[in-house]
Amino acid sequence: MPTDGAEVLPPLLSITQDNHGAIVITASSILLIVAALATIVTLISRVRILGALTWGDTFLVAAMIMFIPQTTCIIVAGSDGIGKHRDSLSDTAFKSYSQLLYASQILSVPVLGCSKAAVALLLISIKPFNIVLQACRILLGLIGAWTVVAVVALALQCTQPQVWNFSSGRCLNQQALYSSLAACHIILDAALVILPIVLVWKVQMPEWKRFQICALFGLRILVPALTVPYIASLDPFFHSKPKDQPWHALMPTIWLQLMQSTSIICTCIPSLKRALAELQTGMMAGTIPEFLELSLSGRHDNTTDASTSKPGNRSLHPIGGSELYSDKDTKRRLKEQRHHGFRNTTVEPQESMLNLRNGAIIQTMEYEVQFEWSSEHSRASSTSQGMSTYHGDGLPAQQTSRSAF
């Protein structure tokens, strides 16, 4: 109950039996804010890791920038006509609603296209195996073609001069157009889910890490999942009797906004892992290896592990260097090493070293490196053993080295 002298203001947006525009306005505003926050955190995380932005980040920013005017068109159209009956709208309001809905449809395509391209460029920046790399490049070209074709088709769906007027007889089969574009959208997003899984599955790492990374990219399956109800909601929009498009535009618009926001957020998720790791507690204690995290960010340092022969050289092990190698690459490198042999170098002892060696000292060091190939190949191993003998004067008498593959 209000206190004495307090005035209760009416709600900013009200939902009535004949006006559901507040639903699309509220949903669109929330989705825009969430997508913007995810993008900002992602960019900050990338700058902290790399010190610069990659091409994938540029396309992510482009998607977010175009999502802002697209959502603005939806919010204004929600005030002018979306969720209202046609007979309750004036001609001016209906014209404004039609123009804004038309503009939002066109802007939604580059939003989805740029978010897809950002994921494809992220995969390319990892420098995966040849087959996966070529598939990513082809997919990137298909995304660009889909974006251009969809923008042109939506821009010319009705005859001029009033291309925004969806009246009967002025437009082509819009439901078939929207459904076909949405089907291609589903296929492209499904490919963006499959390619990272194929890539990670060829990398040697613990199973739980592999599943964790696949889950980060696999969350993008939500985007095509949201496209299915969008296609289903188009039927009453085009075939309701009596025809009442402003009223039935509510659900297709909400599903479209969900698709765009989810697409942007899923693009950010692989890069958000580092930011989430800083807040992790309890069940969020899983982390991604530093090498893979830097690779997903597009950074390729000379990171090495136990399988690296020299500091600064790329490892023969798939996860020990800046690139991922297949079985053929590993066998080729082993063959080159057998052909050229290994260089043995003797380091001249320093004076401080000589003073520490006042007797015969024999030091034996042995190490073993194993390379795991696919099931049809045998396991190759290398054993290298070196022995150095020093006499009382501290000078090396003999140094031997043996390597076998």
Q: What is the CATH number for 273?
A: 1.20.1070
Residues 43, 166: one domain? yes
Assess if residue 325 is contained within a domain: no
Q: Which of 260, 278, 296 is the last residue of a domain?
A: 278
Residues 258, 382: one domain? no
Assess if residue 270 is contained within a domain: yes
Q: Which of 278, 303, 320 is the last residue of a domain?
A: 278
Residues 251, 399: one domain? no
Assess if residue 127 is contained within a domain: yes
Residue 146 and residue 113 in contact, taking contact as beta carbons nearer than 8 Å: yes
Residues 64, 164: one domain? yes
Assess if residue 317 is contained within a domain: no
Residues 351, 272: one domain? no
Residues 116, 261: one domain? yes
Helices (H), ranges, 81-90: none
Q: Which of 278, 311, 328 is the last residue of a domain?
A: 278
Domain that holds residue 186: 21-278
Assess if residue 108 is contained within a domain: yes
Burial class (CB in 10 A: 0-12, 13-18, 19+), 318: buried
- pLDDT tens track for 106-119: 999 999 999 999 99
Q: Write out the two tokens for 173.
A: 């089969």
Worst-scoring range by mean pLDDT, 221-235, 257-271, 349-363? 349-363
Contacts of 314 (CB under 8 A, 6+ apart): 302, 308, 321, 322, 323
Residues 354, 219: one domain? no
Q: Write out the two tokens for 309.
A: 């022969």
Assess if residue 107 is contained within a domain: yes
* Exposure letters 168-205 (e unless 16+ CB within 10 A, then b): eeebeebeeebbebbebbbebbebbbebbeebbebbeb
Residues 350, 268: one domain? no
Closest CA to 264 of 229, 211, 219: 219
Burial class (CB in 10 A: 0-12, 13-18, 19+), 362: exposed
Please state the pTM of the whole predicted model: 0.67
Average pLDDT of the chain is 75
Q: Is the model's pLDDT at 355 over the cut of 60?
A: no
Could you tell me how far CA 134 lies from the centroid of its own chain? 17
Residues 272, 350: one domain? no
Total tally of structural domains belonging to the chain? 2
The residue among 372 and 106 whose pLDDT is bigger is: 106
Q: Is the model's pLDDT at 19 over the cut of 60?
A: yes
Which pLDDT band, with edges at 50, 70 and 90, does 150 fall under?
A: very high
Which pLDDT band, with edges at 50, 70 and 90, does 45 fall under?
A: confident
Secondary structure class of 364 (helix, strand, coil): strand
Assess if residue 209 is contained within a domain: yes
pLDDT of the residue at 323: 43
Assess if residue 176 is contained within a domain: yes
Residues 153, 52: one domain? yes
Residues 391, 246: one domain? no
Residues 362, 252: one domain? no
Residue 21 and residue 251 in contact, taking contact as beta carbons nearer than 8 Å: no
Mean predicted confidence (pLDDT) in 225-252: 91
